[in-house]
Structure 1
């Protein structure tokens, strides 16, 4: 085992030397390291013992823990993140601005901890698994003021927000791997907080009678009620439904009437002079065609009659497309408040109409792949992660199938063997 010897120099200074036999055997070579204080010597002694009487990995004699040589092309993490975001293609400028904000506000918190425990600025090369995990934990726990424990310097982030930021970092680090700056992606093994750890439901699913109570409070002298019916009846995103135009409707007089999702409202970049603009849907698979029910056909006939091809289907009394703040504050929120006063047990958001649509489909045993296509999800994993827990109606069928399989008689050597007997 390693031990410490104390030595007094002629000038009065004291040194502490950690001594041990390499490998701990009788034939090993004697090793030693010198320190100017006893605490450092004790810490190093513990490390030597923990590593089987060997030098701790990364320790250089007389220097301590030394980081691996830096790649000549290495750059600080923050400038690399900005470079990645600026070079992205296939996104609108508002999305690019959102990414830049995430980098400046949240990815800028990432730091690198050296083997010695020294915390230094992170670079795209020195970033480690532990650095990413520390960053996730910082967001999850939040940070309080050291001067006032009741004041938050940074409030705990929602697990979904942490996952989104981690996803952006993952893509940035992967770009460094692809550019051969790194050999692996340090975001792969990060343990993420569970999205369902909170006590508040992230999604609200309305029963049919609950939606009917809200619907009854919406005015029927404009398209406000029609728009709510459309959102809950199609599962469309708000930006998709309110961007629908007369020319997107096909075959109202045929046996296969459809509506095509070709565009959606996007937030305009700051300084552009406008709040929203029409752009492509959220993803490639969000560009889709939906079949229509009989009641939806009747609604579209009424709303599109005599209108120009470019006219919006869901319009205000002035003929303009609905803006989310106007509809929410003037129509939806008052209707929900009135319904709550009359006994409605929930306060759904507008986006919860999309979640409610899915819940109704799952209750009718519509398979998740079909729901994925209808919602325009890029991946079936998104559909499963978000709504898979609602698939309960098949439990009885699954249980019956398992019971039948477990009770099938076995056949052995021509003899019939009954299980459980």
Structure 2
């Protein structure tokens, strides 16, 4: 327990107050000018079980004039430009749901130790390494904003703080064409043109459901569809906006079988209305939840005996794997899928390129033996 001793001069007048305590078996002393300051220091010490460093940190935080980290993070969001509203909504969700332990700290007093405790807390409550990394990325950006605004001198997020992603399960499923056909054959006939478009083009669901008849060139020398918009979630609902990235604005060539599967739906679409609706009479958009339900109903009806349930996005993976098997390289595939960075394509589909591993093994063999295959 910390104690306070009044210090007096030769005339007996109190001139200062000395606080004494033990930290790790060592006696510590601190002289303060007022009784109020001494009591404050004593209270801080006792709150942190006489940990001198922790008490000093707490004192600095009490006297800091800096805004809280939550205030800085919200300010960072307000300064963002050219960012989709869905992204803004996600960032606000991070602040609401994942800032425990950080939100009320003065931004100039947030330390690497605070971040480590915060990351451990995120992991303890069941957040995946990917979720932790995503939120940490936002925290890192907000701290960079604080540095630029001269609210602190450094970014405590720098360094290797994040947990490793040791998940052994690959979320992506690579369905065969036979499996895709089985699911589509068990789908409602009205929905089948949509699924044929997705497997034939690799479009994202939000891109496909935003298409108008004018986006298609079905009778061109090379039939195609132009992607210039997509459904996206805003702060107050859903709306059609720009695609996910700049490279997502693209033209996707369509095979004759895909054209045949979607032609009637495209040509009969009402002017200015999306081509693919969940039913002939539905006019309310968006319909993402209904399309998910329709897909899962077809998956269940097909009863393929798969270990896990394939998602709509797995149609995109199936499309990609079919193209790779047919000889398309990853650079061409990245352009077709609308990936902003080819590293995304490589990370997801690199293991499917059939001859890459063979060429690598052959190169190693040549280096080791000096033998060149004829």
TM over 0.5: yes
What SS does the corresponding residue of 2:108 show, helix, strand or coil? coil
Alignment of 1:34-183 (within 5 A): 36-37=21-22, 39-41=24-26, 64-65=52-53, 66=56, 74-110=66-102, 121-142=104-125, 156-183=126-153
Cα deviation for residue 346 of structure 1 reads: 3.8
- Does the alignment pair 1:237 with 2:204? yes
Instruction: Give me the TM-score of the superposition, normalised by structure 2.
Output: 0.77
Q: What is the CA–CA distance in structure 2 between the aligned matches of 1:325 and 1:247, rounded to whole Å?
A: 25
Q: What is the CA–CA distance in structure 2 between the aligned matches of 1:182 and 1:38, rounded to whole Å?
A: 30
Q: What is the CA–CA distance in structure 1 between the aligned matches of 2:287 and 2:27, rounded to whole Å?
A: 67
Verify the 8 A CA contact 2:194 2:262 in the aligned structure 1. no
Residues 260 and 352 of structure 1: CA distance in aligned 2, closer, same or farther (over 3 Å): same
What runs of 5+ residues in structure 2 fail to find an aligned partner?
Answer: 1-18, 30-50
What SS does the corresponding residue of 1:236 show, helix, strand or coil? coil
- Does the alignment pair 1:318 with 2:281? yes
How many residue pairs get aligned? The number is 327
Q: What is the CA–CA distance in structure 1 between the aligned matches of 2:323 and 2:264, rounded to whole Å?
A: 26
Q: What is the CA–CA distance in structure 2 between the aligned matches of 1:409 and 1:392, rounded to whole Å?
A: 23
Q: What is the CA–CA distance in structure 1 between the aligned matches of 2:362 and 2:89, rounded to whole Å?
A: 53
- Does the alignment pair 1:213 with 2:182? yes
Residues 277 and 371 of structure 1: CA distance in aligned 2, closer, same or farther (over 3 Å): same
Q: What is the CA–CA distance in structure 1 between the aligned matches of 2:95 and 2:266, rounded to whole Å?
A: 44
Q: What is the CA–CA distance in structure 2 between the aligned matches of 1:290 and 1:73, rounded to whole Å?
A: 55
Q: What is the CA–CA distance in structure 2 between the aligned matches of 1:362 and 1:161, rounded to whole Å?
A: 30
Q: Which of the residues 355, 361, 367 maps onto 2:323?
A: 361
Which one has more relative contact order, counting CA pairs under 8 Å at least 6 apart? 2
Cα deviation for residue 258 of structure 1 reads: 1.9
Q: What is the CA–CA distance in structure 2 between the aligned matches of 1:180 and 1:366, rounded to whole Å?
A: 49
Residues 74 and 313 of structure 1: CA distance in aligned 2, closer, same or farther (over 3 Å): same
Residues 290 and 338 of structure 1: CA distance in aligned 2, closer, same or farther (over 3 Å): same
What SS does the corresponding residue of 1:303 show, helix, strand or coil? helix
Verify the 8 A CA contact 1:365 1:394 in the aligned structure 2. no
Cα deviation for residue 408 of structure 1 reads: 3.0
Q: CA RMSD in A?
A: 3.1
What runs of 5+ residues in structure 1 fail to find an aligned partner?
Answer: 1-33, 45-62, 112-120, 143-155, 411-421
The residue aligned with 1:261 is 227
Q: Which of the residues 226, 230, 238 maps onto 2:193?
A: 226
Instruction: Give me the TM-score of the superposition, normalised by structure 1.
Output: 0.69
Partner deviation per Cα, 1:261-313 (whole Å, 9 max, x = no partner): 1111122433xxxx422111122222221112121222343222254552322
- Does the alignment pair 1:328 with 2:292? yes
